Amino acid sequence: MAKTITFNFEGTEYTLEFTRASVATLEKQGFNINDIADKPLTTLPALFAGAFIAHHRFVKREVIDRIFEKITNKKDLVMKLAEMYNETIESLVDEPEESEGKLEWVASW
Amino acid sequence: MGSELVGDSLPHRGGGSMDSTALSYTEVFYNHLPYYLAIGMPNDLFWNGDCRLTESYRKAYEIKRKQLNQELWLQGMYFYEALCDASPLLQPFAKKPKPLPYPSEPYAITIKKEEIEEKQRRQEQLKYEKAKAKMASWAVKTNAQLAVRAGKEVNDGQHH
């Protein structure tokens, strides 16, 4: 199962998910995931809105922006959205099996 | 094979930064699409379905390939056995070459207890039928001989 985010807003259940089609639609609109670090103010709402394309294509942008304003823990949300976005590409390839000669890495946080 | 095929065309792995020559996600999707179409994934599912379904399709394809390999190997075994069974005919100096009979049943490729028991039961039944037929023919033959002998004795008695 693909990663999803679910919540209830004003009585409506929302499921956020990225499909390859929704990622392609976002990119067609000029979205670039690499801009997250450089232009977070415009990129993050666009990424959030893009997650609506799969299941809630016809929700108005004003509604999405209102949801985004009200949503808590945005830092984690962005991380999760980025994970979901990347899942569309990561699921196309197998993870290399652990074996000798592979470089392991550790994050400090 | 599948993983290598799809793995090679992915531009970035392991978290490197994207440069100007990097492909967009959409381009990467289009690069991989033919492979997934070839292994039977519908176009609509690739684009609009659960994105992790590609993993299941790859695994399913791997299973299919293993099955095919198993079938080809089995076919090779049958060919080999057929050749071995017929090999006496291929000996140029044999006086009366007699080929071995080809197996009457296919190899058991599933090891199920019931199947093994059923096979044993059938073999025993066959053995029993053979023995019964042999015994019946022997009985007929013996009875006939006894009848002939008895007839002879009767004839001899009348003569005396």
Q: How many beta carbons lie within 10 A of that of residue B45, not counting itself?
A: 16
pLDDT band at B53 (very low <50, low <70, confident <90, very high): very high
Q: Would you state the pLDDT for residue B9?
A: 39
Q: Average pLDDT over chain B, rounded to whole?
A: 83
Asked if A89 and B29 come within 8 Å (Cβ–Cβ), the reply is yes
Q: How many CA atoms lie within 13 A of B119 on its CB side?
A: 13
Nearest to B58 among A20, A33, A94 (CB): A94
pLDDT band at B22 (very low <50, low <70, confident <90, very high): confident
For A26, nearest residue in chain B (alpha carbons) = B26
A79 interface with B at CB cutoff 8 Å: no
Is residue A14 classed as helix, strand or coil in its secondary structure?
Answer: strand
CA atoms of A75 and A108, how far apart (whole Å):
18
Kindly provide the ipTM of the predicted complex, given to two decimals.
Answer: 0.84
pLDDT tens column, B64-112: 999 999 999 999 999 999 999 999 998 888 888 888 999 888 887 776 7
Can you give the residue ranges of every domain in chain B?
1-107, 109-160
Give the DSSP letter of residue B95: S
Q: How many beta carbons lie within 10 A of that of residue A66, not counting itself?
A: 13
Asked if A92 and B18 come within 8 Å (Cβ–Cβ), the reply is no
* Pairs of residues, one from chain A and one from chain B, whose beta carbons lie less than 8 Å apart: 65
A51 interface with B at CB cutoff 8 Å: no
Q: Would you state the pLDDT for residue A97?
A: 67
High-pLDDT (> 90) share of chain A, %: 62
CA atoms of A47 and A36, how far apart (whole Å):
9
User: What is the DSSP code string of A37-94?
Assistant: HH-HHHHHHHHHHHTTTTT-TTS-HHHHHHHHHH-S-HHHHHHHHHHHHHHHHHTTSP
Category of B25 on φ-ψ map: left (φ > 0), alpha (ψ -120 to 50) or beta: alpha
Can you give the residue ranges of every domain in chain A?
5-90
